[in-house]
């Protein structure tokens, strides 16, 4: 067995991985695990600096969590600077977004309102939304540095509160609350599952960035096009290579894909937390990391793409951009399909989407079509198929994107920004400013590549900035009390708006009885409010519905290593990659 192991190692060496590997005449080697945009960026940046890089991706295609939209809206330089830099570098063309998608819209009981319409036709709702936005902005302004959001005890206390509790205190009228809930669950997760500090921190990051900046352009082909551009640049990519174990020692890292081992000097681990939890690490991660793997909240957002031969809605219909409905329906938009036709993308988010897991893909699509036909009878003949992506039940993702729950910033803030010995972490979840976005994924890949270079140059990493050391993490009621202004004059008004004392507003209903989410109904666009079809058992027509796919939209051919191939036929049973290094070794490696 020992002999087999030695032979295996000899054959799979990607580069010499001894201490001498970093001598001047040796090309330094790195393995990147995960072929989403974070891993692709890290691999690209390291390769550009002269590293020999091997990228291992579990799936058969590259690009990771690319959404279903074939023609994604993207932000401008102000909103997504790094994304725009790469688009420029790879000469990927974008188209300016039409004016009407650059501001949000609202669907209230099936009727469409622009922001301007809302102000004139539903002034109470518009006013309440404004009040909510103002209060949130005041809260965001309390954070001086979004990289250190829990800078004082008051801010730290916000991490112990969930967003729903805060919204309750605002006493918004029912419709406004429903719309706000929908906006939050679409962008992050269910308000009750979100840390108020995280919500405020994100609002701080995007302060001064308007909706117009966020949807400034359209990227034809969506983020898969950007992923492809990276893939073209990389020399060694191995798809269908799920990493199962990682061993670090003082000389380098060994990565196992089943029975096959790869070695290199350093590693970038660019997989989502739930996927990382399944990889066996030697030496093991410490308790804080292990707790974060298990406990960090991910938002829930699934997507349904309905394809039509032609737009079945009126040409004047404005069902596009970010549209929030009070019917428990996720954000939806309509986009021109790349090769003619038209698509409707429906985002199902938060607890609505969690409940909908009981529905099969086809069942969900049928229910949506029933409702669409009620508004647009011509939809029946134009439907050509669908795709469904359920990120949260995908073992490789375990959720749509990071969305810190109450108490989690206090425990895990910037934890994954710090390398562990020879491993740097990347992925949207490791970016402190733009988690949950393409921008965050790209930035994290750049940061991880830089850290690998620093490690190779002998730099060691200081502990991350800790959340403010508040007296015994005042949780629960105590925290709410502190946040409510007991330790900082004027803070209550920033937290809940209005006076410094909580006063029951004259406004009606704070209690929101949101409609049951199931099943989702794409509401009509500018069409007059016709009643939504009841849950009739009618089978939605088209027999042509394509089976839901769960593959990335594109599948570039995997490039093969020019260096010695790993032995695929290594011992049938996985052998231990290497002896567990001693604690002493670990300390030195760090």
Ligand X SMILES: Cc1cc2nc3c(=O)[nH]c(=O)nc-3n(C[C@H](O)[C@H](O)[C@H](O)COP(=O)(O)OP(=O)(O)OC[C@H]3O[C@@H](n4cnc5c(N)ncnc54)[C@H](O)[C@@H]3O)c2cc1C
* Binding region for ligand X (CB under 6 A) out of 92-100, 304-312, 323-331, 434-442: 434-442
Q: For ligand X, give the closer residue by CB, 37 or 344.
A: 37
Residue 57 φ then ψ, to 5°: -125, 135
Q: For ligand X, give the closer residue by CB, 21 or 55.
A: 55
Q: For ligand X, give the closer residue by CB, 191 or 396.
A: 396
Binding of ligand X by 428 (CB under 6 A): yes
Fill in the per-residue mask, 272 to 311: x = in contact with ligand X (CB under 6 A), - = not in contact.
x--x---x---------------------x-x--------
Q: For ligand X, give the closer residue by CB, 173 or 399.
A: 399
Residues 280-297 as b or e (16 or more Cβ within 10 Å = b): ebbbebeeebeebbeebb
Binding of ligand X by 447 (CB under 6 A): no
Tokens linked to 146 = 């979004």
Edge to edge, the sheet with strand 301-308 lists 332-336, 342-349, 301-308, 383-390
Binding of ligand X by 39 (CB under 6 A): yes
At its nearest, how many Å lie between ligand X and the CB of residue 384? 22
Radius of gyration for the chain, computed over Cα atoms and rounded to the nearest angstrom: 25
Binding of ligand X by 236 (CB under 6 A): no
Give the footprint of ligand X on residues 334-393 (CB under 6 A). Answer: 391
Strand, helix or coil for residue 519: coil
Binding of ligand X by 33 (CB under 6 A): yes
Binding of ligand X by 522 (CB under 6 A): no
Angle subtended by helix axes 438-456 and 37-48, to nearest 10: 40
Angle subtended by helix axes 163-170 and 196-205, to nearest 10: 80
Fill in the per-residue mask, 55 to 94: x = in contact with ligand X (CB under 6 A), - = not in contact.
-xxxx----xx-x----x----------------------
Tokens linked to 72 = 């994604």
Q: Is 214 left (phi over 0), alpha (psi -120 to 50) or beta?
A: alpha
Among 140, 143, 292, 400, contact with ligand X (rule: CB under 6 A):
400
Q: For ligand X, give the closer residue by CB, 66 or 148.
A: 66
Q: For ligand X, give the closer residue by CB, 35 or 581.
A: 35
CA-wise closest residue to 404 among 388, 415, 393: 415
Question: Could you tell me if 281 and 363 are in contact, meaning their C-beta atoms sit under 8 angstroms apart?
Answer: no
At its nearest, how many Å lie between ligand X and the CB of residue 61? 8
Strand, helix or coil for residue 209: coil
User: Strand 298-299 relative to strand 401-402: parallel, antiparallel, unpaired?
Assistant: antiparallel
Binding of ligand X by 427 (CB under 6 A): yes
Alpha helices (runs of H) in 457-526, residue ranges in sequence order = 476-481, 491-496
Binding of ligand X by 441 (CB under 6 A): yes
Binding of ligand X by 443 (CB under 6 A): no
Among 15, 35, 328, 485, contact with ligand X (rule: CB under 6 A):
35
Binding of ligand X by 425 (CB under 6 A): no
Q: For ligand X, give the closer residue by CB, 117 or 213.
A: 213
At its nearest, how many Å lie between ligand X and the CB of residue 395? 8
Q: For ligand X, give the closer residue by CB, 46 or 512.
A: 46
* CA triple 536-183-337, angle to 5 deg: 70
Q: Rounded to an integer, what is the distance from CA 8 to the centroid of its chain?
A: 38
Binding-site size for ligand X (CB under 6 A) equals 37
Find residue 218's DSSP bridge partners: 73, 95
* Binding region for ligand X (CB under 6 A) out of 432-440, 493-501, 523-531, 558-566: 432-440
Binding of ligand X by 243 (CB under 6 A): yes
* Binding region for ligand X (CB under 6 A) out of 265-273, 312-320, 457-465, 483-491: 265-273
CA-wise closest residue to 528 among 109, 67, 17, 72: 109
Strand, helix or coil for residue 31: strand
> How many C-alpha atoms does 381 have within 13 Å on its Cβ side?
2
Q: Which parts of this chain interact with ligand X (CB under 6 A)? A: 33-39, 56-59, 64-65, 67, 72, 242-243, 270-272, 275, 279, 301, 303, 391, 396-397, 400-401, 427-428, 436-441
């Amino acid at each position: 067995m020992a002999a087999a192991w030695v032979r295996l190692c000899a054959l799979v060496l990607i580069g010499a991985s001894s201490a001498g590997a970093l001598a001047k005449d040796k090309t330094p080697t790195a393995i990147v695990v995960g072929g989403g945009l974070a891993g692709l960026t890290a691999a690209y940046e390291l390769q550009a600096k002269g590293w020999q890089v091997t990228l291992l991706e579990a799936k058969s295609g590259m690009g990771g969590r690319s959404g279903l939209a074939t023609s994604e809206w993207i932000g401008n330089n102000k909103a997504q600077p790094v994304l725009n830099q790469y688009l420029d570098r790879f000469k990927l063309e974008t188209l300016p977004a039409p004016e009407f998608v650059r501001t949000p819209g609202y669907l209230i009981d099936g009727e469409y309102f622009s922001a301007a319409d809302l102000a004139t036709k539903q002034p109470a709702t518009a006013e309440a939304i404004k009040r909510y936005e103002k209060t949130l902005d005041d809260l965001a302004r309390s954070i001086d540095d979004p990289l250190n959001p829990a800078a004082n005890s008051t801010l730290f206390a916000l991490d112990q509160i969930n967003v729903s509790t805060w919204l309750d205190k605002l006493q918004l009228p029912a419709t406004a609350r429903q719309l706000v809930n929908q906006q939050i669950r679409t962008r992050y997760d269910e308000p009750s599952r979100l840390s108020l500090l995280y919500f405020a921190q994100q609002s701080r990051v995007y302060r001064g960035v308007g909706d117009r900046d966020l949807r400034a352009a359209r990227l034809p082909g969506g983020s898969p096009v950007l992923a492809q551009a990276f893939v073209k640049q990389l020399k060694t990519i191995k798809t269908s290579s799920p990493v199962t174990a990682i061993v670090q020692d003082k000389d380098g890292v060994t990565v196992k894909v089943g029975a096959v081992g790869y070695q290199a000097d350093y590693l970038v681990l660019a997989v989502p937390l739930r996927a990382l939890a399944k990889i066996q690490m030697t030496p093991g991660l410490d308790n804080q990391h292990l707790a974060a793997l298990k406990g960090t909240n991910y938002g829930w957002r699934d997507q349904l793409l309905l394809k039509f031969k032609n737009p079945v809605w009126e040409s004047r219909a404005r069902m596009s951009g970010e549209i929030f409905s009070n019917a428990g329906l996720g954000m939806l938009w309509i986009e021109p399909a790349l090769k003619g036709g038209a698509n409707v993308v429906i985002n199902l988010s938060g607890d609505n989407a969690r409940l909908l897991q009981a529905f099969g893909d086809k069942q969900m699509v049928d229910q949506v079509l029933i409702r669409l036909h009620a508004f647009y009878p011509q939809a029946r003949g134009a439907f050509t198929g669908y795709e469904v992506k359920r990120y949260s039940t995908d073992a490789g993702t375990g959720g749509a994107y990071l969305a810190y729950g109450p108490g989690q910033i206090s425990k895990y803030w910037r934890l994954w920004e710090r390398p562990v010995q020879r491993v740097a972490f990347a992925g949207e979840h490791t970016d402190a400013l733009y988690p949950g976005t393409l921008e965050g994924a790209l930035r994290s890949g750049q940061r991880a590549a830089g850290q690998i270079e620093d490690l190779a140059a002998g730099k060691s990493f200081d502990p991350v900035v800790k959340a403010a050391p508040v007296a015994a993490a005042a949780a629960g009621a105590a925290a709410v009390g502190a946040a409510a202004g007991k330790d900082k004059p004027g803070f209550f008004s920033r937290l809940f708006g209005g006076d410094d004392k909580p006063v029951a507003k004259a406004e009606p209903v704070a209690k929101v009885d949101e409609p049951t989410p199931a099943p989702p109904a794409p509401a009509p666009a500018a069409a007059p409010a016709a009643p939504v079809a009841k849950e009739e058992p009618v089978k939605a027509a088209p027999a042509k519905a394509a089976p839901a796919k769960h593959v990335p939209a594109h599948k570039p051919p995997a490039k093969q290593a020019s260096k010695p191939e790993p032995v695929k036929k290594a011992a049938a049973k996985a052998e231990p990659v290497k002896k567990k290094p001693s604690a002493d070794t670990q300390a030195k490696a760090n």
